[in-house]
Structure formats: C-alpha cells, structure tokens
C-alpha cells in the first residue's frame, strides 16, 4: 500500500471516530473507544498477516458496518477506510467489484434510517472513490510494468554490450593466434628451407674453390648453379619478408576497399568516388568485413532501386566511431524506405559490433554505417 493510501485509510478511521465522540451522542465513550480499537486491531492484523489479509478485510468491513449501525454519527465513514484497503488486497477486477457491491449494500443498510440526501451523497462518494482508486491502481500497475520492461531492456542492453566486447576480444585473439601461427610457419620455412639452401651453397662453393685450379670448367658450372640457387633463395626471402612486414598505416586497407568499389563501379557502369576523412587507424578484420559488405550492398541498391549513375563514398574516422556513408544521385523513394532482405542483412551485421545504421534523404539518398572503434592497446 502506498504512503498516500495508508494515510487516507487511517484518517478515515480516526476523523469519523473523533468527530462522533465530539458530538456527544455516544452513550458509553469507553465502550465506543474499545470498539474502534478492535477495528484498528483488525487493520494491523491484516497488514501483518498478508496471506489472510483479504479475509480479515471482510471481517473489518462487517465490523465497521455493525459499529456504524449501532453508534450512528459519522461512523459510517469507517467503511470508506475498508474500501481504500480493498484495492490493495485484491488484484482481480471481479474480486474488487464484488467488494465494492457488498460494501455498498452494507453502507445503505447502515444509513437506512438517515436522511435521503445523506444516503445519496454517501453512495455517490462511494462510487466516486471506487472509480478513483481503480484508476489509480491501473496507472500504478502500468507504471510498474513499464519499469519492469525498462529494467529488462537495460539488462538486455548490458548483456548485448558484454557480448559485443567478448566478440571483439575473441576477434583480437583469433587475429593474434593467426599471426602467431603464420610467424611460426615462416620461421620453420626459413630454418628448414633457406637454412638448408645456404649450407648447401656454402659446401658447393668450397668444392668450387678446390676445383677452380685443377678443373676450371667444372668449377665454373658449379658456381653457375650456386648463382641460380642464390637467386631462387633471394626470391623466396623476398616473399617471406613481404608476409612478415606489417601493414603501414591504412594504405593496404584503403586499397582493398578502393579496389572493391572500383570493381563494383566497373561492373555496374557507375562513377564511384572514395574519400577518407579523419585520422585512419588499423581496424579489426570483423570491422573491415562489415564495411566491405555494407558498401557493396549500398552500391547494388543504388543501381537496382534508384537507377543511380554516380555513387559517393566517405569513410570518416571519428574520435570513438567509424562512419561509412554511401550516397547516390538516384531517384528518392516515395514514402518510407522499405526494409528489404539486403537492408536487414546490413543491420544484422552492424548489430553484431554494437553499431547502427542511418538513412537520410536530403540532399541525396545516403546510407551510413556507424561502428564503434578504439585504438589498439587502448
């Protein structure tokens, strides 16, 4: 029971009792006070024993009806105190309606010998209070429901954020593991292949030096073999170094995205421009994958649905997020943008990384993929 209802319930018990005492119509004030205290005891018992509170409320209502019928005065107002409590003890509308009807009948029995205007006023007050209390109960229930939904949404958001962080950490671990495996394989190749070649070339060169005086032709042939093997070894070393070399800045990634856009533009007959803004940084493979797929989907939709001839792509590195905007000069859609299979796929890919998709129609149709990013090691 809310604090307001609790105060109202006790006021409807104390005010009529004190008012009746002050009128001086009570024959035995001690017995009257004892009867009021019995009613107060029933109220407290119902608050303590919640499991039988609904039944004690019915006993309380009958007791107040008896007291009002016997003592007269303002005691009939005690029934309104029980009415306030009914909307706390009963949750089903049928139970509340039955209590209101039963209490209304008892109220009319208590006021049977009173003035007709008082009877009408008491009934109107009874129905008005019932309506107000029922509306308050409905509003409170909806408020509690909304709060529970908000708590569930906050919990789901927290779980989703934790899942996104785990995915990012897992992506980093996979990348590091793949790099470690590649380095181990290259180191093994250097040890087993290039090392063996160098040892063999050293032995062949020592043999050629010994044959240079007594068998010069054979020595020259052996030196030619050593030269050819060294050229082959140098080429293998260059390939190994290229695999070991880290990507400098964002040139490789930009080139990969630019090549994807160029191929799409060539196949679809489009003029495609690509611009990078902000401070580029190295991205996780999962982020690059989402950017590539969403850019490809946006270009395809620009031709298929808008009949575009030109597509402008901007990759904007912001402080805490990365935005890929794909705009075109095609026809603007009439009405709301339809969420097709391609658009849903874009949203699902973005949601996995905790990002969002924005669509704008002015000054041209544009789709923006926004993903959260952070610097490596931060």
Cβ–Cβ < 8 Å for 201, 229: yes
Question: What mean pLDDT comes out for the span 81-102?
Answer: 84
Asked whether the predicted pLDDT for residue 2 surpasses 70, the reply is: no
Residues 6+ apart with CB under 8 A from 358: 367, 368, 370
Q: Mind listing the pLDDT tens digit for each residue in 45-70?
A: 777 777 777 788 888 888 888 887 77
**Least-confidence region, from 16-25, 89-98, 241-250:** 241-250
Domain extents in the chain: 3-114, 182-244, 251-372
**Alpha-carbon gap, residue 351 to 332, rounded angstroms:** 26
127-131: long-range pairs with CB below 8 Å, 24+: 129/80, 129/83, 129/84, 130/83, 130/100
- Of the chain, the percentage scoring pLDDT greater than 70 comes to 81
Band (pLDDT 50/70/90 cuts) for residue 323 is very high
**CB neighbourhood size of 301 (10 A):** 20
The CATH topology of domain 182-244 is: 1.20.5
**Which CATH architecture best describes the domain 251-372?**
2-Layer Sandwich (3.30)
Is the backbone peptide bond immediately before 363 cis, with ω within 30 degrees of 0? yes
Q: Mind listing the pLDDT tens digit for each residue in 132-191?
A: 888 888 888 888 889 889 989 888 888 888 888 888 787 777 767 766 766 666 666 666
| pLDDT for residue 88 | 78
Asked whether the predicted pLDDT for residue 19 surpasses 60, the reply is: yes
End-to-end CA distance of the chain: 51
**Alpha-carbon gap, residue 223 to 208, rounded angstroms:** 7
Stronger pLDDT, 262 or 367, i.e. the higher one:
367
What is the pTM (predicted TM-score) of this model? 0.40
- Of the chain, the percentage scoring pLDDT greater than 90 comes to 3
């Amino acid at each position: 029971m809310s604090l307001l209802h609790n105060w109202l319930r006790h006021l409807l018990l104390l005010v009529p009792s004190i008012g009746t005492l002050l009128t001086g119509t009570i024959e035995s004030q001690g017995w009257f006070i004892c009867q009021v205290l019995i009613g107060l005891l029933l109220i407290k018992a119902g608050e303590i024993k919640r499991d039988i509170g609904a039944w004690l409320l019915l006993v309380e209502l009958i007791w107040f009806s008896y007291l009002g019928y016997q003592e007269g005065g303002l005691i009939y107002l005690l029934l309104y105190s029980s009415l306030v409590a009914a909307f706390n003890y009963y949750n089903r509308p049928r139970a509340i309606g039955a209590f209101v009807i039963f209490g209304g009948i008892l109220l009319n029995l208590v006021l049977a010998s009173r003035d007709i205007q008082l009877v009408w006023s008491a009934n109107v007050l009874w129905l008005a209070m019932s309506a107000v209390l029922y509306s308050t109960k409905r509003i409170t229930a909806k408020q509690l429901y909304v709060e529970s939904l908000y708590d569930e949404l906050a919990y789901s958001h927290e779980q989703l954020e934790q899942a996104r962080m785990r995915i990012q950490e897992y992506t980093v671990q996979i990348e590091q593991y793949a790099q470690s495996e590649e380095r181990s394989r290259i180191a093994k190749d250097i040890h087993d292949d290039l090392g063996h070649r160098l040892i063999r070339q050293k032995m062949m060169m020592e043999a050629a030096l010994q044959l240079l005086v007594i068998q010069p032709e054979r020595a020259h042939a052996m030196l030619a073999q050593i030269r050819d093997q060294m050229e082959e070894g140098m080429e293998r070393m260059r390939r190994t170094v290229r695999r070991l070399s880290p990507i400098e800045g964002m040139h490789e990634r930009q080139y990969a995205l630019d090549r994807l856009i160029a191929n799409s533009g060539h196949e679809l007959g489009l003029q495609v421009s690509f611009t990078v803004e902000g401070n580029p940084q190295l991205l996780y493979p999962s982020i690059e994958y989402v950017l590539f797929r969403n850019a490809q989907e946006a270009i395809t939709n620009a031709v298929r649905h808008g009949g575009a001839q030109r597509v402008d792509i901007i990759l904007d590195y912001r402080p805490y997020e990365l935005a890929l905007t794909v705009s075109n000069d095609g026809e603007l859609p009439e009405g709301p943008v339809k969420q097709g299979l391609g658009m849903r796929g874009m949203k699902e890919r973005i949601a996995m990384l905790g990002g969002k998709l924005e669509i704008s129609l002015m000054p041209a149709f544009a789709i923006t993929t926004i993903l959260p990013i952070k610097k490596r090691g931060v």
